């Protein structure tokens, strides 16, 4: 299995593509976005933490090629799907990207091909909906004519110590033979493999990982409000608690959840659980708490502006950070968008600054903001500053001489202005 196709060349697919290429496989990257295809074939990068030199080295070596032609899966041994799994407007799973991709590749599957889904989804997707479209479109039978497996993506953007090859890989197959084929595939590029008994166990594993984070972030977000009412700094409490060498893991509050995983994936299980007559009350409560955090930030902003004798209406507000996470260029599901929406709905004029996201890209959820540009510099020429993302640039920035209030949602500022508020 030295000839692999990876469909979806985003934050998951591109690093995985490079890891397989570095490991000696010949990789065909497939995507419907021609701009990504052109960039890869030109040895260029469109993701901040993926170096252009790494792409150029693999294309020059003949190990990596990108294309929009899905019929080329006819010439590969394995196909890995790394496509989005968002929620629709009713907060229900949207499997259209997975199933459309399945339909696109199905006519070109040959006997013996391995298909692996990496996109986060609810248990039963791989051996249910995806299997159905692959079989109906190919005339082949999964587990007999072609192999089918699920292996959840595990990416930690912005963490320089997180390398694809060193992140243990959970793998589940439709049949024991499917599992063996999938283990052989990932064994080419990943050092530690974690086989499980089925695709559904692998799918459930990914959901548990993300629900664990969502619930614990909700806990500290709620404690932030409770301790704040008691005039206790939640950040100091966490720093003290994490000195315990057992039974505690630190999680940190913020202005809301961001990224493609934590705000979305728990609701995949919530939706699927209803089919079995189960109610995920704990998960849904965590979602409610995390979703309410932007409102808390707005409340603190109200208080900060009131201290200046100003209202939110007609105020000029600068938000620091559009990316959902420190030191990355990924703006998916960023809580900053919610803050912009809420402040502008109240009549404020909102600008943003983010050295990692100089221009707001076109997104499905926030198309109206596409093309807005980051402020060139951080200045006190505003009525209020709200720090939403803890980029290193903001941690070291000297705000001490700024005469305007600053609301810090990440406990990131070290050189604080006189009018400093935590949210």
* Residue showing tokens 């105020």: 315
Q: Confirm if 142 and 134 have CB atoms less than 8 A apart.
A: yes
Give 25's DSSP letter.
Answer: -
Residue 362, judged by CB atoms within 10 A of its CB (0-12, 13-18, 19+), counts as exposed
Six token digits for residue 277: 């007559």
Cα separation, 35 vs 15, in Å, equals: 17
Whether 288 contacts 219, CB under 8 Å: no
DSSP class of residue 23 equals T
CA 40 to chain centre: 21
Query: Running DSSP on this structure, what letter comes out for residue 367?
Result: G
Strand partners, 149: 116, 173
Q: Which of 82, 178, 199, 261 is catalytic?
A: 261
Told to judge if 415 belongs to the known catalytic residues of this protein, a careful annotator would answer no
Instruction: Give 93's DSSP letter.
Output: B
Q: Which residues of 203-219 are buried (b: 16+ CB within 10 A; e: fewer)?
A: bbbbbebbbebbbebbe
List own/partner pairs for 366-370 with CB under 8 A and 24 or more apart: 366/337, 369/337, 369/340
- Report d(CA 296, CA 11) in Å as an integer: 30
Which residues make Cβ contacts (< 8 Å) with residue 260, sequence separation at least 6?
11, 84, 86, 330, 332, 333
Cβ burial of 143 (10 Å; 0-12, 13-18, 19+) is: middle
Active site residues: 261
């Amino acid at each position: 299995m030295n000839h692999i196709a990876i469909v979806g060349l985003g934050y998951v697919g591109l690093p995985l593509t490079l890891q397989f290429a570095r490991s000696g496989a010949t990789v065909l990257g497939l995507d419907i976005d021609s701009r990504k295809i052109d960039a890869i074939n030109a040895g260029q990068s469109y993701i901040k933490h993926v170096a252009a030199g790494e792409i150029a080295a693999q294309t020059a070596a003949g190990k990596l090629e990108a294309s929009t032609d899905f019929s080329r899966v006819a010439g590969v041994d394995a196909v890995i799907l790394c496509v989005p799994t968002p929620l629709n407007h009713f907060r229900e799973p949207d499997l259209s990207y997975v199933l459309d991709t399945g339909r696109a590749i199905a006519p070109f599957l040959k006997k013996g091909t391995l298909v692996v889904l990496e996109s986060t989804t609810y248990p039963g997707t791989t051996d249910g909906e995806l299997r159905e479209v692959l079989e109906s479109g190919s005339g082949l039978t999964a587990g007999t004519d072609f192999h089918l497996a699920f292996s959840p993506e595990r990416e930690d953007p912005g963490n320089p110590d997180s390398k694809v090859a060193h992140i243990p890989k959970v793998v589940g197959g439709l049949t024991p033979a499917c599992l063996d084929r999938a283990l052989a595939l990932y064994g080419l590029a990943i050092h530690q493999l974690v086989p499980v008994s089925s695709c559904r166990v692998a799918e459930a594993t990914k959901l548990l990982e993300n629900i664990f984070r969502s619930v614990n972030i909700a806990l500290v977000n709620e404690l932030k409000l409770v301790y704040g009412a008691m005039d206790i700094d939640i950040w100091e409490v966490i720093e003290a608690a994490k000195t315990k060498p057992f039974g505690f893991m630190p999680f940190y509050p913020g202005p809301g959840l961001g990224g493609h995983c934590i705000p979305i994936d728990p609701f995949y299980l919530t939706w699927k659980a209803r089919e079995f007559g189960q109610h995920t009350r704990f998960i849904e409560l965590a979602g409610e708490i995390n979703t309410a955090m932007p409102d808390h930030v707005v409340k603190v902003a109200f208080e900060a502006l009131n201290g200046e004798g100003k209202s939110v209406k007609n105020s000029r507000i600068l938000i620091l950070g559009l990316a959902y996470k420190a030191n990355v260029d990924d703006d998916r599901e960023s809580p900053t968008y919610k803050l912009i929406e809420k402040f502008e709905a109240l009549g404020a004029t909102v600008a943003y600054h983010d050295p990692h996201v100089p221009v707001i890209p076109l997104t499905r959820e926030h198309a109206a903001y596409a093309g807005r540009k980051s402020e060139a510099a951080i200045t006190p020429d505003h009525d209020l500053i709200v720090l939403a993302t803890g980029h290193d640039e903001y941690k070291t920035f000297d705000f001490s001489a700024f005469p305007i209030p600053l609301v810090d949602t990440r406990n990131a500022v070290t050189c604080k202005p006189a009018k400093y508020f935590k949210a």
